[in-house]
Amino acid sequence: MKTAQPLPRKSARSARRTLAVMFALSAGLAPAMLARAQATTAPAMAPAATSPTSAPTTGRTQQQVTLEFVEADRAVQEMLPDRGVLRDPAAREKLAAKAVPAIQKSMALLDELAARGGGEAMSPEALADSILVQRIQTEPLLIAFGDPAAKERAATRAASKDPIESALGRGEQLIAAFWVAEKEPDQLKVVGDLEKFLKESQPNIAVDFTAGIFLIHPSASDAVTDQLIKLAKATPPGPLTENVLTQVEARKIQKGFENKPIVLAGTLVDGKPFTTADWKGKVILVDFWATWCVPCLEELPHLKETYKKYHDKGLEVVGVSNDYSASALTGFLKENADLVWPTLFDAAAGEKKEMHPLSEKHGIIAIPVMFLIDRKGVLRTVEGRENMGELIPKLLAEPAE
């Protein structure tokens, strides 16, 4: 996932490519981007001397290493789905014995990918950006867990004369400090340090990612989040953070619908009308998705299992497709006959390459997003994707009236 290896890159990036990388970061797609780099065609770069473990670069294909990395990264994310847990010293201590070796394994595999260079589907430069994304998300985890080697690597990078390398090291230190800050005043102090960092640093991808990560992960309070948004607007470090800022503000719009009655209506892909009002007394999961969305497709097996487990107990699911093509959607549904719940589709929005009107109305600009509506028709959470396993049984146990 991350290591201390400096990678060759230009100081300026095209907005189009950096935005694509930030979409990968904010949607959890960096591993998927790395998975595209399979056949090595570019000269290999030397692995980092400061890597936590030595990673072999022979005997396996690029695809094999990539898939192993994706699985290792997934294991880490499953251990730490919410960075907020790091604010609890006791929880950090409890997690460390299991999490630190898993993170180090990811980093060693990332080193191996870096050493192999780009592939047919990803240039060395794009691969370097994806690796930076992974590093700046995960090295701070090791620092937060008190790993001495990670602290030393970050300090070495922070002292570098290379502006990107220095920003990467300082960014890792700041992110780790923010994640372990227990209370609102502690986090606000780190936000002040971030402001100083943004003012002192040359605009570059590492600075941009640092600010973006501060925005992506939950803060100790709304006051901290509001201060981060204010800082990002006043000192925008680049297109990456601007994109995340847009998503954070969109999430605030989504949260505004919580704990209020909601009815979703539209046209199904077969042209028939639909409304959730017809499911009175049911618990409803609304899946905002698209067939072109990789993480959406990765969620489908879990969603199918959840539907099968709870449908007879009162759970209904409706999909809100953000596809642009009806034929692509109907073709996918035909190939996946076990996706049995209704799917809404808006042909007019698709023709204009826009999100479904229900997505637009509810502030959804990145997918997947899942809403959970209780038996009384109240939207209980816009974060059903993150906690459906915990919430669905609780909602089903509640009375309809």
Say whether both 147 and 276 belong to one domain.
Answer: no
CA-nearest of 261, 160, 141, 136 to 208 is: 136
Cis amide leading into 163 (omega within 30): no
233, 253, 273: which is the final residue of a domain? Answer: 253
Measured between alpha carbons, how far apart are the two ends of the chain, in Å?
48
315-321 and 273-275 as β-strands: parallel, antiparallel, unpaired? Answer: unpaired
CA-nearest of 383, 380, 369, 394 to 262 is: 380
Phi, psi torsion values for 158, nearest 5 degrees = -60, -30
Say whether both 19 and 152 belong to one domain.
Answer: yes
CB atoms within 10 A of CB 301: 10
Show the CA angle centred on residue 148, arms to residues 146 and 149, nearest 5°: 125
Based on its alpha-carbon atoms, the radius of gyration of the chain, rounded to whole angstroms, reads: 22
Whether 215 shows a pLDDT value over 70: the answer reads: yes
pLDDT of the residue at 122: 58
Say whether both 126 and 63 belong to one domain.
Answer: yes
Of residues 57 and 5, more confidently modeled: 57
Cβ contact 66:113 at 8 Å: yes
Q: 3-class DSSP state for residue 331?
A: helix
pLDDT of the residue at 66: 80
CA-nearest of 352, 284, 350, 302 to 322 is: 350
Say whether both 307 and 390 belong to one domain.
Answer: yes
pLDDT of the residue at 118: 57
Whether 3 maps to a domain, the answer reads no
DSSP character for 28? T
pTM of the shown model: 0.64
Say whether both 148 and 72 belong to one domain.
Answer: yes
225, 253, 281: which is the final residue of a domain? Answer: 253
Q: Give percent of the chain with pLDDT exceeding 70.
A: 84
* Minimum mean pLDDT range among 179-188, 231-240, 279-288: 231-240
Whether 2 maps to a domain, the answer reads no
Say whether both 247 and 305 belong to one domain.
Answer: no
Highest mean pLDDT, choosing among 43-57, 114-128, 180-194, 223-237? 180-194
Work out the mean pLDDT of the chain and round it to a whole number: 82
Whether 7 maps to a domain, the answer reads no
Domain span including residue 316: 265-397
Q: What is the mean pLDDT of residues 164-181?
A: 94
Say whether both 168 and 275 belong to one domain.
Answer: no
pLDDT of the residue at 36: 41
Whether 8 maps to a domain, the answer reads no
227, 253, 279: which is the final residue of a domain? Answer: 253
Q: Enumerate long-range contacts of 385-389, CB under 8 Å, 24 or more apart.
A: 385/299, 386/81, 388/285, 388/306, 389/306
- The strand pairing partners of 316, in sequence order, are 284
Cβ contact 271:399 at 8 Å: no
Q: Enumerate long-range contacts of 100-103, CB under 8 Å, 24 or more apart.
A: 100/142, 100/145, 100/147, 102/72, 102/75, 102/76, 103/1, 103/76, 103/138, 103/141, 103/142
Sign (positive or negative) of CA dihedral 6, 241, 83, 201: positive
Sheet arrangement for strand 343-344: 343-344, 315-321, 283-289, 369-373, 379-381
Q: Count how many residues are written for the chain.
A: 401
Category of 297 on φ-ψ map: left (φ > 0), alpha (ψ -120 to 50) or beta: alpha
Say whether both 185 and 37 belong to one domain.
Answer: yes
Say whether both 249 and 332 belong to one domain.
Answer: no
Please state the domain count of the chain.
Answer: 2
CATH number reported for the structural domain that contains residue 375 in this entry? 3.40.30.10
Q: Give pLDDT tens digits for 308-351.
A: 999 999 999 999 999 999 999 999 999 999 999 999 999 999 99
Q: How confident is the model at residue 65 (pLDDT cuts 50, 70, 90)?
A: confident
Whether 1 maps to a domain, the answer reads no
Whether 381 maps to a domain, the answer reads yes
Q: Give me the amino acid identity at 81.
A: P
Would you give the distance in Å from CA 217 to the centre of its chain?
Answer: 9
Say whether both 302 and 225 belong to one domain.
Answer: no
pLDDT of the residue at 162: 92
DSSP character for 156? H
CA-nearest of 309, 298, 311 to 367 is: 298
Whether 34 shows a pLDDT value over 50: the answer reads: no
Say whether both 79 and 228 belong to one domain.
Answer: yes
d(CA 74, CA 31): 9
- Give me 314's structure tokens: 């009162």
Whether 180 maps to a domain, the answer reads yes
Say whether both 336 and 205 belong to one domain.
Answer: no
Whether 211 maps to a domain, the answer reads yes
Count of CA atoms in the C-beta half-sphere (13 A) of 234? 11
